[in-house]
Amino acid sequence: MGRFFVARILLVFSFTFYCGGSVQVAAQENGAKSKTQQKDQFEIQYDDLDLLLSGSVLDVGLSDRRTASRRGAKTGTSRMKHGNTSATGFEGNRVAFSDFKKDHVDYLLAIRKDLEAVPDFMPLKNFSANEQLAYWLNLHNVAVMLEVAKAYPIKKIKPLVLGKKSVWDKKTMSVGGKEMSIQDIEAYVIRRWNDPLVLYGFFMGAVGGPSIQVKAFTGDNVAETLQNSALEFVNSLRGFRMWSGKGRVSDHYKLGERYFPDFEQDIKRHLLAYARPDTRRDLERAKSFQIKNYDWGIADLKNGDTYAGGSLSTSSGALGFFITGTPTATSGSEATGIFAPPTRGSAPDSIFATGALNKAGMAGISPQTKALLRAIRIRDERRRLEGTVTVEEFVDSDGGRIARKDKFDEVAVTPEGEDEGDTEEKPVI
């Protein structure tokens, strides 16, 4: 286990260490700034969460709206099926829960507790609206990942979300002295932000929900990331599909029913705003819309598969070969591509970062997982040919959980009813 970041505040001006006329001028300018600009002076850092996500999340890519083949669900003459055999089984980013060890679970718990402590050092109302939104989405998604990792191996997420054994409504977190559950975070965000885009920031642990991102949300990227997530989800079969001339939309939209008071018209208008031409054609010819579309299969690389043929944890090179067509770089070498290891070793080893090519290990991967990986590889090749694939390198940064920002960005997603003209503080923790 590596070190964890203890939340701390870097003050904008520290008269203990600085003196002189320049500081006085800066302080005067700060006093003249608007409330929004003052809130934009601080940011919450997530480099530890970035490290975990970059090493355990597989970016499956955009859906081509093709129904997943079920031929890979069987092996030989056996009638036993492995993994997710639904029509959306090849969609949505995946977390390698199957290869999580105790260190990964402990790391998730430590990050969650560290995030819970942020308001103890600085009230969230002191941050910009985007910074607050990023905070809540990250805390929610870390909490979901932790609960799924603790419950693994499971094939369906539904028992964790609904029913007697649900963990969604258990108040396992304490934020600013207030006990909160995963469900509480969802309700708070949806109530406070008047934009359905926030729905695409909630990772639900299931294939049927919005994808987990490969990087944490930040105040600077939250608006753009949510828009990209909306584009991916709306144009996938998980978000919308045709069924006997009628449109079936994801059950995930139940979370944000307040955004769609006139459901059929409002949901259609919303989906059209993010639809590709092929999706738009289906939306236009849909006779009606109903919420009846959800894949409860776990958003795990192996789809909750307990296939006994072998373990991906012992053949990460084979996994890399399936996706990129080239061996995964071994530890200590210069690696590039979607499974390049992060540059700092403060988290458990990247699940996908090491291991030599082991073709014999391919035989140990279940048929359903092989089919998923082939689908990813085909999509990846298409995107490369179209010039739409970029590889982002992990950028190391030092400092505590809270740091001073060096630029002021316009807030793109704002809380309902909050603007510079408000004189009354909103009930933000």
* Model confidence at 167: pLDDT above 60: yes
Sequence letter at residue 225: T
For residues 395 and 24, give the distance between their C-alpha atoms in angstroms, rounded to a whole number. Answer: 34
For residues 130 and 143, give the distance between their C-alpha atoms in angstroms, rounded to a whole number. Answer: 20
290 — phi, psi (to 5°)? Answer: -145, 150
Which tens digit of pLDDT belongs to each residue from 271-301? Answer: 999 999 999 999 999 999 999 999 999 999 8
Most confident of 169-173, 364-368, 403-407: 169-173
For residues 24 and 29, give the distance between their C-alpha atoms in angstroms, rounded to a whole number. Answer: 9
Q: Quote the pLDDT of residue 35.
A: 61
Q: Quote the pLDDT of residue 366.
A: 63
For residues 283 and 305, give the distance between their C-alpha atoms in angstroms, rounded to a whole number. Answer: 34
Q: Quote the pLDDT of residue 37.
A: 59
Which tens digit of pLDDT belongs to each residue from 359-388? Answer: 334 445 666 667 777 777 776 676 667 654
For residues 111 and 396, give the distance between their C-alpha atoms in angstroms, rounded to a whole number. Answer: 17
When comparing pLDDT for 29 and 130, which is higher?
130
- Give Cβ neighbours of residue 277 (< 8 Å, ≥ 6 apart): none
Question: ∠ CA 378-379-380 to the nearest 5 degrees?
Answer: 90
This prediction has a pTM of 0.74
Most confident of 38-52, 236-250, 388-402: 236-250
Instruction: Decide: helix, strand or coil at residue 248.
Output: strand
Q: Which two tokens stand for residue 213?
A: 């991102």
Average pLDDT over residues 84-103: 85
How does the average pLDDT of the chain come out, rounded? Answer: 73
Minimum mean pLDDT among 221-230, 327-336, 410-419: which range?
A: 327-336
Which tens digit of pLDDT belongs to each residue from 12-29? Answer: 222 222 233 222 222 223
Sequence letter at residue 299: A
Minimum mean pLDDT among 59-68, 149-158, 249-258, 390-399: which range?
A: 390-399
Identify the helix (H) or strand (E) that includes residue 282: helix 277-285
For residues 343 and 341, give the distance between their C-alpha atoms in angstroms, rounded to a whole number. Answer: 6
Q: Which two tokens stand for residue 190?
A: 């949806």
Minimum mean pLDDT among 148-152, 332-336, 412-416: which range?
A: 332-336
Average pLDDT over residues 71-82: 42
pLDDT bucket at 246, cuts 50 / 70 / 90:
very high
Residue with tokens 């290990």: 361
Instruction: Decide: helix, strand or coil at residue 157.
Output: coil
Question: ∠ CA 395-399-403 to the nearest 5 degrees?
Answer: 100
For residues 70 and 284, give the distance between their C-alpha atoms in angstroms, rounded to a whole number. Answer: 29
